[in-house]
């Protein structure tokens, strides 16, 4: 893949240098130099990682016939989502089905620990917000073409909680990155959550040992923390600080 092709995809997909760096594992400064023609001779490993970041935008389930869906990809609806077999795990984003592999044991431990700390904080203070852990359906835009399953969410408006799913934007969303969801979590979901006016979005990435916190009510730029940090939740005014030391210990075991 040439640098011209990468530049074209960067423009088409709306990637920033920061996002390319997160997807490729290449420092943002290096990425910017390469794209601006100031990178000199680029190491093969660096080039290969950049190519991988641009190779596929994401995994999309196109074989609608396999699920008995009559419409074409891009026009799938909530009705199609609900008609899928129970053993098929997908998310619906803007009319497309996106594959969801079964979560790893580490992924579930991490999500459960975050949910536990949030739930304990709310219960101890007799709070009015409600925390959820995946699988829970979130009809993000209250439209008919998007249904997500975030790893952890907090909903502070009880009217948004209906029997089948959460209707509308949660106040807080956390996604734990898996190898197959990296582009979706860093790029597509960030855009969708920001558009839907989710107040706060966290990306916890055990592979880079980082947590990215987007307080979308504020400047919207990511605050980056090491995975063993104590990280405040902005929607609670910093009263709840998640302690990630236990999660960091699990991450060091390098479970896949």
Instruction: Using the 3D structure, point to which of 99, 128, 152 is the last residue of a domain.
Output: 99
The answer to whether residues 72 and 24 belong to one domain is no
| pLDDT recorded at residue 118 | 97
Residue 110's closest CA among 199, 243, 238, 239? 243
DSSP state letters, 120-184: HHHHHTT-S-EEEESS--EETTSSSS-BB--SEEEE--GGGB-SSSEES--SEEEEE--GGGHHI
* Confidence bin at 143 (pLDDT 50/70/90): confident
Q: Which residue has the higher pLDDT, 183 or 60?
A: 183
Global confidence as pTM:
0.77
Contacts of 194 (CB under 8 A, 6+ apart): 201, 214, 216, 220
Instruction: Using the 3D structure, point to which of 99, 128, 159 is the last residue of a domain.
Output: 99
The answer to whether residues 143 and 223 belong to one domain is yes
Instruction: Using the 3D structure, point to which of 99, 129, 160 is the last residue of a domain.
Output: 99
Q: Which residue has the higher pLDDT, 34 or 241?
A: 241
The answer to whether residues 192 and 120 belong to one domain is yes
211 in Cβ contact with 202 (< 8 Å): yes
The rounded distance, in Å, linking the Cα atoms of 9 and 50 is 12
Q: Residue 179 pLDDT > 50, yes or no? A: yes
The answer to whether residues 76 and 146 belong to one domain is no
Q: What is the CATH number of the domain that holds 143?
A: 3.90.1570.10
* Residues facing 87 on adjacent strands: none
Angle at 181 between CA 174 and CA 55, to 5 degrees: 140
The answer to whether residues 112 and 227 belong to one domain is yes
Q: pLDDT per residue over 88-132, tens digit each?
A: 788 998 888 887 877 788 888 889 999 999 999 999 999 999 999
- Give the total number of structural domains in the chain: 3
The answer to whether residues 32 and 155 belong to one domain is no
Residue 49's closest CA among 72, 70, 30? 30
Provide the mean pLDDT of the chain.
Answer: 84
The token pair at 22 is 């997160």
The answer to whether residues 27 and 77 belong to one domain is no
End-to-end, the C-alpha distance of the chain in Å comes to: 29
Q: In what helix (H) or strand (E) does residue 31 lie, and over which residues does it extend?
A: helix 28-35
Q: What is the CATH number of the domain that holds 36?
A: 1.10.260
In the numeric block, the tokens 């997160």 are attached to: 22
Instruction: Return the CA Rg of the chain.
Output: 19
Q: Residue 190 pLDDT > 50, yes or no? A: yes
The answer to whether residues 132 and 247 belong to one domain is yes
**Domain housing 164:** 105-252
Pairing of strands 152-155, 172-176: antiparallel
| pLDDT recorded at residue 42 | 78
The answer to whether residues 118 and 214 belong to one domain is yes
Contacts of 243 (CB under 8 A, 6+ apart): 117, 230
Q: pLDDT per residue over 37-69, tens digit each?
A: 876 677 777 777 787 777 655 445 544 555 667
The rounded distance, in Å, linking the Cα atoms of 153 and 174 is 6
In the numeric block, the tokens 């902005």 are attached to: 234
| pLDDT recorded at residue 48 | 77
What letter does residue 57 receive in the DSSP assignment? S
The answer to whether residues 122 and 209 belong to one domain is yes
The rounded distance, in Å, linking the Cα atoms of 239 and 154 is 15
The answer to whether residues 82 and 138 belong to one domain is no
The answer to whether residues 113 and 205 belong to one domain is yes
98 in Cβ contact with 60 (< 8 Å): yes
The rounded distance, in Å, linking the Cα atoms of 100 and 60 is 10
Q: pLDDT per residue over 66-98, tens digit each?
A: 566 777 777 889 998 998 877 778 899 888 888
């Amino acid at each position: 893949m040439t640098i011209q092709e990468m530049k074209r995809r960067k423009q088409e997909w709306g990637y920033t240098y920061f996002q390319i760096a997160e997807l490729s594992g290449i420092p943002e400064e290096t990425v910017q130099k390469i794209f601006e023609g100031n990178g000199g001779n680029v190491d093969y490993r660096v080039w290969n990682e950049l190519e991988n970041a641009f190779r596929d935008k994401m995994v999309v389930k196109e074989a609608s016939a396999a699920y008995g869906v009559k419409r074409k990809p891009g026009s799938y609806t909530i009705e199609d989502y609900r008609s899928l077999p129970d053993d098929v795990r997908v998310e619906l984003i803007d009319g497309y089905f996106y594959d969801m592999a079964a979560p790893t044991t580490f992924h579930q431990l991490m999500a459960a620990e975050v949910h536990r700390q949030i739930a304990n904080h709310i219960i101890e203070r007799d709070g009015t917000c409600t925390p959820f852990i995946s699988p829970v359906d979130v009809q993000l835009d209250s439209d008919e073409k998007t249904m997500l399953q975030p790893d952890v969410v907090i909903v502070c408006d009880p009217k948004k909680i209906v029997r089948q799913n959460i209707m509308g934007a949660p106040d807080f969303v956390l996604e734990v990155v898996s190898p197959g969801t990296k582009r979706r979590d860093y790029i597509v979901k960030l855009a969708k959550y920001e558009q839907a006016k989710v107040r706060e979005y966290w990306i916890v990435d055990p592979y880079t040992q980082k947590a990215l916190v987007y307080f979308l009510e504020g400047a919207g730029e990511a605050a980056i923390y090491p995975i063993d940090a104590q990280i405040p939740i902005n929607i609670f005014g910093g009263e709840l600080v998640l302690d990630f030391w236990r999660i960091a210990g699990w991450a060091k075991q390098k479970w896949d």
